[in-house]
Amino acid sequence: MAQMTPRVVDISHHNKVTNLKAAAAAGIWGVIHKASQGRGYRDPDYATRREQAKAAGLLWGAYHFNDGTDVSAQVDWFLKCADPDDGTLLVLDFEDNQRSNMSAQQAVQFLRLLEQRTGRKGAVYSGNRLKETVARLSPADRSYLVQHRLWLCQYGPHAVLPIGFTHYWLWQYTGDGVGPQPHNVPGIVAGNGGIDLNAYDGSKEQLAAEWAPGAVAPDDDQVMGSTHSAQAEQDDVIPVAPIPERNEAPPQEPINIQPEKASYSLDIEILQRKLDRLGYHDVGEPDGKWGGKTKGALTAFLNDRGSDIVVNGGPTAAINDQISKALTEGWTRPIAAKRATATATEIAPKVESVRQTLWQRLGAKIAGGVAGAGALVSGASNNFASFNDKISPVKDFFSATPGWVWFVLVAMGAAIIYLSADKAQRATVQDYNTGKIN
């Protein structure tokens, strides 16, 4: 996968920010921060982070996480929380909300009202959600939508655009450690494997000109302080404890997702990768689909954490909070002492591969023993003419090659089989001891 160049970082209160000047010195030009959600949630770190970003010479933007409630009230609430000036980028975050999805028609209505109330167009952040719903819009709504800057969410090496869009403006190529490298920048701590980073295909001056009316390109002299100054700034900042991540909603009862009807979900793939990182390897390969393995691994995680959350469906805000905290703490799946010290013989009844290697090792021992004994007998027979005469027909069968040579070759083959089986058995036992297999 090609290496990307991050220029914009998007964060919310769940991210731990230590030093935005360090991020700017590493090549970041702008920050887009969560301001609001629905009609009543305000990000508690928005105002403080805005001052930090401006002090670091970074462009500043605000995003609103959608829900399916009254659109006019959402726009009012967003503008109240974002408190935009002429240089503030305004963005509608149009992605899946498991609690209450905004429709594509509502998204267009949001953007129209935002333009009416601010006198300028905002931008729209989306990925699969927009790709799956844009075709439902009327020609007039679609025509209006594609006039907006597209901030594309696409975790992969190639950008795939929604219908009607000819290019992206920003490309969020990674989040939570999924997607091309890099996954992190200095000054922002990723407690869950990586932060949301975005590429821009232009210069710093071009980005500033397109950002928002009145925006000014960051000054290199202002941003590029000495390493000592950046570290001093970092040491003076009080870390912020991470709490629910980007697409959280207020805690509610989990939704039901039927495994037999499950389709790919980026949220599910991220959940699976996090569970695997925490030691719940029985989640299986991260395929982005909800099923029995994912539910079982998630249930085991919550039980191990002492949580009373009941898993009836995919990841909720409360579940994401638990996982983020565990990753931030460096917590891993607890392994019972009996499991951690189990031997191959103890594991064999439960693990088929260990049983196989035990039989392979036993067979190799028997073959090696028989071959070794045969080599000794063959060698000794050369010293006893009468015995040699009795087995000469067998020896003649193997041509002129002495019989002991064949026995040695068999013994060597048995040794190779034994060592290979032993190595595989050790690896399997270690995987069992550490919880990688059940």
Task: For the chain, give every domain's residue range.
Answer: 6-236, 262-333, 339-433
pLDDT tens for residues 366-383? 766 666 666 566 655 555
Q: What is the pLDDT of residues 388-434, one digit of tens each?
A: 565 566 556 555 666 666 667 777 877 787 677 677 767 766 666 66
Q: Whole-model pTM?
A: 0.55
Domain 6-236 - what CATH class? alpha beta
Instruction: Give the tens place of pLDDT for each residue, 74-91.
Output: 999 999 999 999 999 999
The yes-or-no verdict on residue 168 having pLDDT over 90 is: yes
Q: What does the alpha-carbon distance between residue 117 and residue 75 come to, in Å, rounded to a whole number?
A: 9
Range scoring the smallest mean pLDDT among 58-62, 256-260, 311-315: 256-260
